């Protein structure tokens, strides 16, 4: 299934976790003394639907406390501001979809191979990653993997089932992007 199909078929827990994971991977390297994981409360809201609104508010406050004018942080703040407080319905699906697009756009923006970038994010999401550079292709694959992992978890499973694995996949993606950015900064000197 394509990323678009997986998002369309995902349940609310998968949508919340997928959106949180996408935003998590977009966070820049934390500044000295800054919270290394400002979206941690959002993950708790993925495990407990009743706590979603409170955890969303905590994540917004933690992100607002981050220093600097980083573009990615501004875009993440905007998406957190748009996240539905009730973690249900079409609003959650739209939010998760927007988080997916943001993560892919950020990865595309840092990809050295950006030839023919117009429409590339949309093509990747529709299942055609031809022409995508390694960062964009990797992010598309991670998003797909996360949604497939969560889709395989039975409805009777505990609410937090699978979130540890999603966190692991997300942390791996965050390391990949930060390493690429660090390499590029060293090359540019």
pLDDT at 159: 65
CB distance 63 to 177 below 8 Å: no
- Cα separation, 42 vs 65, whole angstroms: 15
Of the candidates 149, 152, 150, 132, the residue with the CA atom closest to the CA atom of residue 140: 132
pLDDT at 116: 56
DSSP codes, 88-131: -HHHHHHHHHHHHHHHHHHHHHH-S--TT-TTHHHHHHTT--TT
Residue pLDDT, tens place only, 13-59: 999 999 999 999 998 888 777 778 899 999 999 989 999 999 999 99
Residue pLDDT, tens place only, 117-169: 778 999 999 999 888 999 999 999 999 999 999 998 866 567 677 888 999 99
pTM for this one?
0.92
Residue pLDDT, tens place only, 76-99: 999 999 999 999 889 999 999 999
Domain assignments of the chain as residue spans, ordered by start: 3-188
Phi-psi region at 123: left, alpha or beta (left = phi > 0; alpha = psi -120 to 50): alpha
């Amino acid at each position: 299934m394509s990323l678009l199909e997986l998002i369309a078929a995902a349940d609310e827990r998968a949508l919340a976790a997928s959106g949180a994971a996408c935003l998590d991977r977009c966070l820049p390297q934390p500044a000295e003394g800054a919270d290394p994981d400002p979206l941690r409360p959002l993950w708790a809201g993925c495990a407990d639907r009743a706590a979603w609104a409170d955890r969303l508010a905590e994540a917004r406050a933690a992100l607002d406390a981050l220093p600097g004018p980083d573009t990615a942080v501004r875009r993440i703040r905007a998406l957190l501001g748009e996240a539905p407080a009730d973690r249900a319905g079409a609003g959650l699906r739209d939010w998760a979809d927007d988080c997916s697009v943001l993560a892919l756009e950020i990865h595309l923006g840092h990809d050295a191979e950006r030839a023919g970038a117009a429409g590339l994010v949309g093509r990747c999401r529709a299942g055609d990653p031809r022409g995508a550079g390694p960062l964009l292709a990797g992010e598309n694959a991670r998003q797909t993997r996360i949604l497939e992992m969560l889709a395989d978890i039975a409805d009777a499973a505990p609410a937090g089932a699978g979130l540890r694995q999603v966190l692991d996949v997300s942390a791996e993606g965050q390391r990949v992007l930060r390493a690429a950015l660090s390499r590029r900064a060293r090359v540019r000197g």
